[in-house]
Amino acid sequence: MRSAHQWKNVFCIEGQWSDNFKDKSSVEPMLDFICSTNKQFDYIYRDAATLEELKFYLKKSVLKRYKEYPILYLAFHGEQESLCLSDGTISLTELSSDELLGGSCSNRIIVLGSCSTMNIDKRKLKTFLKRTGALAVCGYRTDVNWVDSTAFELLLLYAMQDNEFSGRGIGAIVKAMKTQAKRFPELFFHVVSKDEL
């Protein structure tokens, strides 16, 4: 559990944004920016173009040696209820399976930086939280603009820093997230927390 005074580090897995390998789109410069402004912050960054790569890194992300990285940030193309990769899609149900994140995300927050993935029934999101054990899952209900969503995600990662990652602190974290989301109403950002179970 990370206390209110400890910076919460990020384990980021990012998909391939374009088939054009000259495209330099990436969320990593945003993570570098946070590092440059706060020396207490750290992140792990991996890119995953295929389903097998994503599954490999997801399994690694929840290992005990990475417990100091309680924000799992998945930056991918998305569609309703799923993340999209170059060779297929993976649903939230698959992500929360025992083979991947099932029961492994205690005191963690999962950020889905992908278009429309959160555009599903709230009951399914609650099931996802129960299966993973995460404190919260958040993301977008619609397709989003790259610049707007990146600016918002920067503010979102900062908003998570002031409170303890625990059952006690999640209410304040969710409130801070929703405050930031009001600045970007066109993003249709949504968060579901353990408090709602």
Angle between the 146-159 and 170-181 helix axes, to the nearest 10 degrees? 150
Task: Give me 158's structure tokens.
Answer: 């900062």
- Predicted TM-score of the model (pTM): 0.94
Query: pLDDT below 50 — which residues of the chain?
Result: none
In a domain, 4, yes or no: no
C-alpha distances in angstroms, 52 versus 49, 61, 84, 88, 184? 9, 14, 13, 10, 34
**Number of domains composing the chain:** 1
Confidence (pLDDT) at 2: 56
In a domain, 158, yes or no: yes
Confidence (pLDDT) at 4: 59
Q: For residue 37, give every residue at least 6 positions away whose Cβ sits within 8 Å of its Cβ, in sequence order, or none.
A: none
Confidence (pLDDT) at 99: 95
Specify the CATH number for the domain of residue 91.
Answer: 3.40.50.1460
CA nearest 96: which of 122, 139, 73, 129? 129
In a domain, 3, yes or no: no
Confidence (pLDDT) at 196: 86
User: Domain span at residue 184?
Assistant: 10-196
In a domain, 98, yes or no: yes
In a domain, 5, yes or no: no
In a domain, 126, yes or no: yes
In a domain, 2, yes or no: no
Q: For residue 193, give every residue at least 6 positions away whose Cβ sits within 8 Å of its Cβ, in sequence order, or none.
A: 129, 135, 136, 170, 171, 173, 174
pLDDT, one tens digit per residue, over 154-188 is 999 999 998 889 888 899 999 999 999 999 999 99
DSSP reduced 3-state for 115? coil
Query: Position of tokens 């390998």?
Result: 21
CA-CA distance, 39 to 35, in Å (whole number)? 6
